[in-house]
Amino acid sequence: MNPASRRTVLTALATAAVSGPLLGTLTASPAHATGDLDIYASNTDLYTKLAGQEGVEFSRRYRRHEYADHSPAQRYPYNRTTVMAMHGGGIETGTSELCLAIAGYHPATLAPLADGHGVFDYWMFEGLRSSGNRDLHVTAKNCDDHVAVSMAASSLNVLSLHGCTAAQAGTVPQAVVVGGLNTRFKTLLKAEFDTAGIAWRDGNELPDLAGVNTDNPCNRTMLAKGGQLELTTELRAAMFTVNTRAGRAGSTTEVFDRFVGACRTAITKLEKGTDQIIL
């Protein structure tokens, strides 16, 4: 099915999607696309007010691969891609595991994936509470974590992972909204999702999910553009057979694998393009 026809089908099914049954055991959560309900004005505000609670109520995980340039006569490549999950753990469930896998690591063992696409840098913020993780949400444009911002700023490209509801996306239950300011990356992601059989909608049709704010870390790259994916609750639920913080990493499904494969293929193709070169 061509993209235009597929989008027509998605639109026709939108009303049914909103009221459709949930898949798996992951229940719907409030939409997090805006900061209207945020308690904390920024990550710094959260870290200050929850001082001493890192590792208890929230965590930060990241990996920067070593780059060394000690030669004045040679030019070494810039870091190309960083994968982010700004609302991982119990905030927008499933995004932590996706972040690790798209970066090239098995979410349970952290062993590198043997799929030929290599590994990428990653950063995530995770809610660790048994309940009430929504209160830890800081909308992306207000993210000022110094590691997250510096990783984005030193990368040519960022792929940021988020969660939304089907009602918010206005689409079939299992779908992803493709956003960000990197139009080439969006085109590649949508093509790979079509190949993988994953329904998508363009973020340009949904201002709250578009990921086009220039303060959003996905667009704070060396090229001032990146990609953002908003996955519906139902799509994320279909990716795991055990939807708990302890169980998700070791219970991924073929839906998870197809989604991860699509993203990693799109990143590889993007990195080979001339628009990913900076002098």
Reported as a single tens digit per residue, the pLDDT across 191-204 is 999 999 999 999 99
Task: Report residue 6's pLDDT band, with 50, 70 and 90 as the boundaries.
Answer: very low
For residue 72, what pLDDT is reported?
Answer: 85
Residue pair 14/170 in contact (Cβ under 8 Å)? The answer is yes
> β-pairing, 199-202 with 175-179?
parallel
Distance from chain centroid for Cα 155: 16
Angle between helices 254-271 and 95-102 (to 10 degrees): 50
Task: Report residue 8's pLDDT band, with 50, 70 and 90 as the boundaries.
Answer: very low
Number of helices (H) and strands (E) in the chain: give both, helices first: 9, 7
Task: Please give the residue that has the higher pLDDT: either 134 or 10.
Answer: 134
Task: Report residue 33's pLDDT band, with 50, 70 and 90 as the boundaries.
Answer: low
Q: What percent of the chain has pLDDT over 90?
A: 78
Residue 107 has pLDDT above 60, yes or no: yes
For residue 34, what pLDDT is reported?
Answer: 64
What does pTM read for this prediction? 0.87
Q: What is the pLDDT of residues 165-223, one digit of tens each?
A: 999 999 999 999 999 999 999 999 999 999 999 999 999 999 999 999 999 999 999 99
Token pair of 156, please?
């040519």
For residue 77, what pLDDT is reported?
Answer: 75
With CA atoms as reference, report the closest residue to 101 among 122, 129, 80.
122
Residue pair 121/81 in contact (Cβ under 8 Å)? The answer is yes
